[in-house]
Structure 1
Amino acid sequence: MPSPAATLRALLEQPKLHVMPCCYDALSAKLIEQAGFDLTFMSGFAASASRIGQPDLGLMSYGEVLDQARNITDAVRIPLLADGDTGYGNAMNVRRTVTGMAKAGAAAVMIEDQVAPKRCGHTPGKAVVSREEAFDRIRAAQDAKEAGADILILARTDARHEHGLAEAIARAAKFKELGADILFVEAPKTVAEMQEICRELTGPKMANIVEGGETPDLSHEELRDIGYAIAAYPLTLMASAMKAMVATLQQLKSDQDRTPDLMDFKELRDRIGFNDYYEVSAKYETSKRD
């Protein structure tokens, strides 16, 4: 079977938009795969919320993020793009992050140019490092690939917030020159900015669609026509799940009938994998055959 990175490369060669719901744990990733999507991304925002119950403000450690990614890749076959944040330190830490994510089975890892500790791209207080430090992070990521890490580099810049679109595009263009496989200019504010990003930059580009965020929430057809290869939806699943859980908790608290809003127990077991487990384990039950 091809490696996760090879599978992702093949997907990116297709002249289409890949819609990418983002997961936050193994179960959400399984549901994405069961729904027929070709790939997923481990949202740092959602993973931080689900794993430690804290906002995406650089509180999760490299080890925690790596463990979360490994749990996800163990649960699904579709390629996982992992959030590597700022690389968790200097250039040598970036190399370790990229190598670790490759060993964990991630198809790609995102490395960004924010100051550490980073912040969610659609929240206040963002700042980016200097150009040279940002470029060193991508150099280090590429060096990790050349040393044997079979993984793609998703290079992200948040420079639009502080320094304007031109600086963000210039940084992304250099990231591409240094070996980045996918480019991600975070938080363009208008359709015209999104068009300029795709016009000025070569290779696959990713749009990040946060419902209620700064980037226009365009249709899939519009994103494809602009020139994006991937449309990431980092909070869609988590926001949907949280809303449903809050409503169900209120129903339970007030002793209302909640059954219409719940997944059938049989379907729930099947989606989690109980039936698959029973089918595989049956061949080991030698006592029943004797």
Structure 2
Amino acid sequence: MSALRMAAVADRFGRDLEEDFRVAERLIEDARGQDVRLLALPEACLGGYLLSLDDAAALDDGPPALALDGPEIRRLAALAGEMTVVAGYCEAGPDGDRYNSVVCVTGDGVLGNHRKVHQPLGEDASYASGDRFHAFDTPVGRIGMMICYDKAFPESARALALAGAQIGVCVSAWPGARTHPAADLDNDRWKRRFDLFDRARALENQIVWLSANQTGTFGSLRFVGSAKVVDPGGDVLADTGVTAGVAVAELDVAHALETARRSMGHLRDRRPETYTHAGAVSA
């Protein structure tokens, strides 16, 4: 059995694509120097997120839409080299739609792509919605990806686990509370929920969980950072806190999953025939 060194990033990204690539290159090179083999960058790290979740289209044109087979994703793959790198971007769909997407690459090219399914508040005014969750094989194991609000729905991570994902990677641009925000982000209720979702999704599916997030401010949004690596028991192995940083942890993934599932196997012990929608019971 061999250990995998993995990392999740909390950092700031904006509209300037060249600056975003400079930050991404620095983070990838720093991770390479620490022998990291799997690196998760945040949602919308190539081109930035929306300036607001209310009326973003009125504030600017949004992030640049990039083709999955275009030069920017090839550039990211070239930077990744022998590493497996996950990064969020705005995807130009073949039908002219724009998707909030996350891609997984190595130097050999694209390994997987996910379009955000669940859209909070006014995000659907800027992006079309994805329609599935899937897992795929990579040099570091079988991975499933999701984006930000996707993780608020247990079915998202469960679909990935049932598809054989050993590692769930969730990239986010998760902000603090919009109403009654805490002066200290450490005490923000949306930061607390972000952390709870990360630990719950890992524990209930008994998978390794990487959570990357943006930091700083962008438009009206103030991001909570808190990138982390969580083990299959729901324990946080590394966490950046609310500031920019990289959470790095080393784990034998196959052994960790085997150990977590040995006695209490949450996937094994499911009773799907009982999970039907119960009708209303009359008095």
Verify same fold: TM over 0.5.
no
**Higher relative strand content:** 2
**Higher relative helix content:** 1
Higher relative contact order (CA 8 A, sep 6+): 2
Tell me the TM-score range normalised by the shorter chain: 0.3 to 0.5
- Larger Cα Rg: Structure 1 or Structure 2? 1
Q: Normalized against structure 1, the TM-score is what?
A: 0.44
Q: Normalized against structure 2, the TM-score is what?
A: 0.45
